[in-house]
Structure 1
């Protein structure tokens, strides 16, 4: 069982127990840069769909496996063990190692010439990225008091959209240059196609980010801590046995499952859209990869980043006004506002007009990326954060990465039998997932509020 009794220290968290705000924001900056590179490496493939299909003779479904399921499988295999390491070992070293691993795997995608090898390397990218978010959320949570952690977590979360946006903008620029230059000739390797050149240029700089991550100090753990009472009455704070973590999550299953499914179904829509919107504009509106890469990339950079920051700020405001349930109330409103914009950008026949509702459909859902990390942190004691976040990422990646791109591809290949019907596949998957995620959020509302309030009352620092 989990015992939250104090070991004699005050039950109130003191701001002086945390690192200086300046250093805390330095940690956030380094981790955000790492997150940018993770999504840069992950998202670049969405812009390379058409040349990869042509050169390797692939279907939409095979491409979707590279975009999603390869990552999901790796998170199942390594996500939970890495989360346990985050709770028990030096987190900064784990972050640096993960960055180096996925960067080399991304660069390797530029050297292989077969689909199975590509699939294996994309799984390697997923394995390397599996450690970053559990470790980053845990590290950031130890830099700021609970009532101030929402905005730092939101800043970290903008890495999704900066990375995704840069992948499209930079990728489009590299593709344009590579197409002009033709295949790249490398010693011992031979000719490298333009889309392979993109992987090499995107992947290798990540090794510099890995070196930067080694500059971070490992902080002490703060917040509500798991405490164990020995037979002689001594209270100790230490690593939590996995059995006790699962006991805690089982006891609070309705809240934990509901929140995780809310985030998972949201991710199905998010990852599916990110994977196929460039192809929608290429196939439906006749845009080039360079045109949609620059346009959609800038939307992610601007509206995506703004949405995450607004979500983090809104979550902190709603928490001060409404307590632990404040962030959930904000999430419900955002979900309902998003639906008409999804319908508009997928159904408008003019691509230039569709960009405007697409901007809103990027901006509003990204509020949830600013809300969700703090929602999850409010549910678990500190020494369970890495494991709990890894379980959440497992759900998010199995559903989001595993199903999002593939559901849209399967509708295209098996239902509509028409690549140009991609807009209808995006519409159906997006709206259904919004409604499913909203239902899960409402189911979790009451038990979540009770659990988060209880943990907040027992917050301590050791």
Structure 2
């Protein structure tokens, strides 16, 4: 097995500004995708009062309806990305979710609202794979982690801005029960929030369509030594077979990243409840404190990890990606251990900030090995399969395990959530470290020998 793929053709020779314009535009799209996805969390009470929805129906809108369609649509759209024009797919997806978000503000029934949320999920499922596949053909291998890292700022910025923008619109209208909107009639403020956050996406879709050109696909030398045929379109079944036979390290790396994603969703879902119960805080107070920490630590961890992974010589970028990921996992392990001993409010906030910081570093570099190593016409499908596993196992299993362990410890005790969070996050972090180390050895070594480093 060779050390890693090398470009079969020259590195891209675009003007220095253009690739970063593409990154900036896709980052803006990614930010608004998370605004459109998360803003509903601020509108639960007015939506329930207006449409007579139950908590179960709200849960469907926020969780199952979105997550299920996001996961189901990801792989088929990724096949289109691998086989077609990625820039066109990107602007169609941005336009679809933006239109669906605005539609959420005007529909009158729960079934229609459910359909709008499903359409939002389908649109958002296509952006990451299309964008990161384009980055792979715009940037030299040793700069790819930086471009991807900046793109992955989207969830951290968008998740925070969803609360800020939603609160600003609701606050602007105060106690007003409805507002007359031309051609739409009288709309309640929560409906206007959907219109306000969805509209910019239509402008971004137009910008992507007008400004982003489809880059030429670059071939690589595969791990088997064969040249990558960039003109050959592969079926989803063939892609899955090749990924998990010829690229066994990919499965191990994906499992390691999934373990880190489990920790992320556990911390994001349960840490607010932990501090609310342990320190008798009001939910609003906890949110006002944890929200800025999430944005600042998540964004800074993402940027710093991507900068470190692309610093220095252009030789062997994968080694630097794995090295920075390993450092972040060690830091995450320390943060998780801190959950067992942090008993003061200040110490708990410090543990939370450190955990988000190191998790963001791991997650920002997670897609990079697939971008560098996988065949061109398989990259998007490989990343979509990763996202499917993250959605099902990371987002689905992690928070559930914390809740079950907390119940087992006695959910009425103030410390039970913190202990449960630590007991789930610790083995998940250790598994992530072991699996990342194993995938590194599988990728860089063959039969116990270590080939000489080669530029990628």
Task: State whether residues 256 and 435 of structure 2, in contact with CA within 8 Å, keep that contact through their aligned partners in structure 1.
Answer: no
Q: What SS does structure 2 have at the residue aligned with 1:364?
A: helix
- Shifted more, 371-380 versus 78-87: the winner is 371-380
After superposition, the Cα gap between the structure-2 partners of 1:133 and 1:218, relative to the gap in structure 1 and judged at 3 Å, is same
**What root-mean-square deviation, in Å, do the aligned CA atoms of Structure 1 and Structure 2 show?**
4.1
Which residue is equivalent to 1:435? Answer: 427
Structure 1 distance, partners of 2:452, 2:43, is 46
The alignment partner of 2:174 has SS state of: helix
- What is the distance in 1 between the residues matched to 2:408 and 2:199? 40
Pick from 232, 244, 247: which aligns with 1:250? 244
Aligned to 1:174: 169
In the alignment, is residue 336 of structure 1 matched against residue 330 of structure 2?
A: no
Aligned to 2:102: 107
Structure 2 length as normaliser, TM-score? 0.81
1:264 aligns to 2:264 (yes or no): no
C-alpha distance after superposition, 1:73-118 (max 9, x if no partner): 1133221111111111111111100011111112222234554443
1:238 has 2:234 as partner:
no
Question: 1:210 deviation in Å?
Answer: 0.6
- Which stretch shifts more, 334-343 or 307-316? 334-343
Q: Structure 2 CA distance, aligned partners of 1:179 and 1:456?
A: 66
Contact 1:32 1:155 in 2 (8 A): yes
1:258-306 deviations in whole A, cap 9, x for unaligned?
Answer: 3223333433443454456667778851143xx6665444333322111
Partner of 1:209: 204
Preserved contact between residue 405 and residue 420 of structure 2 (Cα < 8 Å) = no
TM-score, normalised relative to structure 1 = 0.80
CA–CA separation in structure 2 for the residues paired with 1:62 and 1:406: 19
Unaligned ranges ≥5, structure 1:
none
Runs of 5+ unmatched residues, structure 2: none
Preserved contact between residue 258 and residue 440 of structure 1 (Cα < 8 Å): no
Within 5 Å, which residues of 2 pair with 1:113-124?
113-124=108-119
1:189 positional shift: 5.8
Answer yes or no: is the 8 Å Cα contact 2:4–2:443 preserved in 1: no
Q: Which has the higher contact order (CA 8 A, sep 6+)?
A: 1
Aligned: 1:58 with 2:54: yes
What pairs up with 1:137-152 in 2 under 5 angstroms? 137-152=132-147
Cα separation, partners in 2 of 1:328 and 1:205, compared to 1, 3 Å: closer
Deviates more, 1:72-81 or 1:397-406: 397-406
Conserved 8 A contact 2:104-2:117: yes
Q: Tell me what 1:312 maps to.
A: 306
Distance 1:71 1:402 in 2: 13
Find the aligned partners of 1:271 and 1:180 in 2 and give their Cα distance: 35
For residues 242 and 43 of structure 2, the distance between their equivalents in structure 1, rounded to whole angstroms, comes to: 44
| 1:172 Cα deviation from its structure 2 partner | 2.4
Cross-structure match for 2:365: 371
State the number of aligned residues: 444
Asked if the contact 2:337–2:426 (Cα under 8 Å) also holds between the matched residues in 1, the reply is no
Contact 1:164/1:300 (CA < 8 Å) preserved in 2? no
* Cα distance in 1, alignment partners of residues 435 and 225 from structure 2: 34
Corresponding residue for residue 323 of structure 2? 326
Q: 1:303 to 1:30 in 2, by over 3 A?
A: same
Q: 2:215 aligns to what SS in structure 1?
A: coil
Structure 1 pair 235–52 and aligned structure 2 pair: CA distance change class (3 A) = closer
After superposition, the Cα gap between the structure-2 partners of 1:121 and 1:435, relative to the gap in structure 1 and judged at 3 Å, is: farther
- Deviations 1:340-396, CA, capped at 9 Å, x for gaps: 455678x65x5x875444333322211112221213324412221111111111111
- Cα distance between partner residues in 2 of 1:335 and 1:86: 34
1:53-81 CA-to-partner distances (Å, cap 9, x unmatched) read 5664533x654443333233113322111
> Per the alignment, in what secondary structure is the counterpart of residue 150 of structure 2?
helix
